Amino acid sequence: MAKSLALSLILFVMYASTAAIAMARNLGEEYSDDTEFVKASCETTTYPELCFQSLSSYASEIKKRPRQLAETALAVSLARAKSAKTYVSDMTDYKGITERQHEAVSDCIEEMGDTVDRLRSSLKELKHLEEGESGEDFWLCLGNVRTWTSAALTDETTCLDGFGGKAMDGELKSLIREHILRVAQDTSNALALINVFASKH
């Protein structure tokens, strides 16, 4: 079940990312305020309500800048990934944990560590890009951002895969799944907003 869910999530994100580029090109350049810009941009993401909920409080800092919006989305995803990694790490001492569950938790900790590293690299690379910039170096850096963010999403779904099967069902799986799925949703939204930024160049 978890494996099927993870695969569905990846396929949906691939579709949504493609759709985001087309939709972003139709977004108007003028908005009545910064919050409206965030809301309109979030409509291009896989999880628009979550996107707006996570980013609307930063609207005055984003100031209708697509790169700043993508950067903020990555920062939010990174912070949540760090928190999730800590949470999963604490689960190694979960009462009654089985050997198989412990192995899945350990693998998930490793995957979330990779997620944190990739999102951190993406955020650092994105900071080097400027609004309106273009050229070979720009697209090379943007390609890195997309690749690392996509890889982070894969890490997150791989963690979920580790808890597949009825033998893994129970409170431990539910608790971890809740945290990792939220990170995956934030990462998916960040990737869509990176594509919005790319569509402006």
Domains by residue range for the chain, with CATH: 2-199 (1.20.140.40)
For the stretch 148-170, pLDDT in tens is: 999 999 999 999 999 988 888 89
In this prediction, residue 142 carries a pLDDT of 94
Q: CB of 81 within 8 A of CB of 112?
A: yes
The alpha helices in 25-135, defined as continuous H runs, are 34-42, 48-55, 59-62, 66-90, 99-126
> What are the backbone angles phi and psi of residue 46, rounded to the nearest 5°?
-70, -35
**pLDDT at residue 102 above 90?**
yes
The phi-psi region of residue 164 (left if phi > 0; otherwise alpha if psi is between -120 and 50; otherwise beta) is: beta
Of 52, 55, 56, 82, which Cα lies nearest the Cα of 152? 82
In this prediction, residue 135 carries a pLDDT of 77
Question: What's the number of CA atoms in the CB half-sphere (13 Å) around residue 90?
Answer: 9
How far is CA 140 from its chain centroid? 21
Q: What is the pTM of this model?
A: 0.84
**pLDDT at residue 10 above 60?**
no
**pLDDT at residue 23 above 60?**
no
**Cβ within 8 Å of residue 84, ≥6 positions away:** 112, 179, 180, 182, 183
Of residues 8 and 54, the one with the higher pLDDT is 54
**pLDDT at residue 29 above 60?**
no
For the stretch 31-54, pLDDT in tens is: 668 999 999 999 999 999 999 999
**pLDDT at residue 4 above 90?**
no
Q: CB of 91 within 8 A of CB of 97?
A: yes
